Amino acid sequence: MHIHILGICGTFMGGIALIARAAGHRVTGCDANVYPPMSTQLEAQGIDLVEGFGADQLALDADLWVVGNAVSRGNPLLEAILTRGLPYVSGPQWLAENILQGKWVLAVAGTHGKTTTAAMLAWILEDAGLQPGFLIGGVPQNFKKSANFSKSSFFVVEADEYDTAFCDKRSKFVHYHPRTAILNNLEFDHADIFADLAAIETQFHHFVRTIPGNGLVVTNAAEPALESVLTRGCWTPVERFNEISGWHATGDDATGRLLIWQGAREMGAITWQLVGEHNRSNALAALLAARHAGVPLAHGLAALTRFESVRRRLEVRGTVNGVKVYDDFAHHPTAIATTLAGLRGKVGASRILAVLEPRSNTMKLGAMKDALPGSLAAADRVFCYGANLGWDAAAALAPLSGKATVTDDLSDLVARIAAVAAPGDHVLVMSNGGFGGIHDKLLAALVAR
């Protein structure tokens, strides 16, 4: 079958393309911006790409048109598909109907930590010899790719609560029908499509309703919103983590120690590469989900000693003259705070320079701006890129007093950071986008200084 994917360069749709190609389909695709690394990853798999959404792409005569959720009504190619009455489907629906049928699906949902937890879970299963398929919203370093087609019975999917497509405003995750589901956490996010937290809780409950009675819900007991979801009705066994009387994790960022407990009983301990309380929580969730799929806890812990994290999660991009530059995907205040806390635990009293691009739709709308100062409190200096916002970043960060710098000019931002950075400093760059290539620009500025 010839499948043409609209919006193919997004992480999720690009993953769909890789899986469809590996499953034997002819795959082509288009996007508004076709550029590396996704473009090169797709082209290396024999997937032809078209720049833009011109209606002339109907000449490709695809058997099926798979539409990404970034494609809206008014898009020329989508309008032509609808006018001609051609067969189309959303990415999540295609995945569910063509790949997930008959699989033991392990889905990872939550406001934060989905990518890292899904990567941990996929790696634990892989290390146990189960050879899972997976589709993850990032690139796990152990696999060097975001998606994998496998004839294995197991499939790990990052279960996103964002809407499915122009024609289906339910959350993506309602399509996946997992047997094992992780509910990592739940906060208000995606202010562009959800009115409030209650609206997101409703979507999470729709997700819970799809999990069978012989499945398992692994849920974070420390999250009141998740408990609220489960009280609406749950027909599946539940295993909670992050409760002192039950499953919980402790550790030390300076030494890399991770300990797993069930009540007062230590169940295992390892030394690993990741830092932060959030990652210890992610690890515990992945371990419990893997155990449900038949991987003993001890084997899962051993696998985590070989886990190499995910690109753009405290990823070191380079060190120049003693200044270390990191790239991180954090863009929600909670994620910013936990990432900073993890780095602080690792570097101790060394200075942390936090560099933020408030780029997500929620951030651009200003829904989280009042929480930003508190989330950045652990940084010694804060640098914020204030362009393209509907609110005043300087005013929002005023509670940080003299330690915050805001500018709308990227070159000026790089120059200001380079002027302040000193040997021993850690520069933490946080954005859910490319941030104008700031990492390489900053490293070059540090070299030239």
Q: Are 359 and 432 in contact (CB under 8 A)?
A: yes
Q: Which span out of 16-20, 315-319, 407-411, 437-441 was modeled with the highest average pLDDT?
A: 16-20
Model pLDDT for residues 343-395, shown as the tens digit of each residue: 898 889 999 999 989 877 667 667 778 888 888 988 999 999 888 888 888 88
DSSP helix/strand/coil, 178: coil
Residue 367: the pLDDT is: 73
117-126 burial by CB neighbour count: b if 16+ within 10 A, else e?
Answer: bbbbbbbbbb
Determine which of 34-38, 181-185, 412-416 has the lowest per-residue pLDDT on average: 34-38
Strands in 242-340 per DSSP E: 247-252, 257-262, 265-271, 315-320, 323-328
**How much is the mean pLDDT over the chain?**
91
What mean pLDDT comes out for the span 243-254? 93
Distance CA 404, CA 94 (A): 46
For the cut 80, the answer to whether the pLDDT of residue 190 exceeds it is no
Q: Are 279 and 308 in contact (CB under 8 A)?
A: no
User: Residue 29 contacts by C-beta under 8 Å, 6 or more apart in sequence?
Assistant: 4, 5, 6, 7, 8, 9, 13, 17, 42, 47, 48, 49, 50
Model pLDDT for residues 207-225, shown as the tens digit of each residue: 999 999 999 999 999 999 9
Distance CA 308, CA 282 (A): 14
For the cut 70, the answer to whether the pLDDT of residue 93 exceeds it is yes
What mean pLDDT comes out for the span 139-157? 93
Q: Which pTM value belongs to this model? A: 0.84
Residue 191: the pLDDT is: 66
Residues written for the chain: 449
Give 31's strand partners: 51
Give 85's strand partners: none
Q: Which domains occur in the chain, in start order?
A: 2-89 (3.40.50.720), 102-304 (3.40.1190.10), 315-448 (3.90.190.20)
DSSP helix/strand/coil, 185: coil
Helices and strands (H and E) in the chain: how many: 15, 23
C-alpha dihedral, 439 to 440 to 444 to 449, nearest 10° = -10
Residue 37: the pLDDT is: 66
Distance CA 312, CA 314 (A): 6
CA of 142: how far to CAs of 121, 132, 199, 394, in Å? Answer: 12, 13, 36, 40
- Which is nearest to 161 in space by CA: 133, 199, 203, 193? 203
For the cut 90, the answer to whether the pLDDT of residue 38 exceeds it is no
Q: Which two tokens stand for residue 399?
A: 């509670």
Residue 72: the pLDDT is: 94
For the cut 80, the answer to whether the pLDDT of residue 441 exceeds it is yes
Distance CA 35, CA 238 (A): 43
Distance CA 55, CA 177 (A): 34
For the cut 70, the answer to whether the pLDDT of residue 35 exceeds it is no
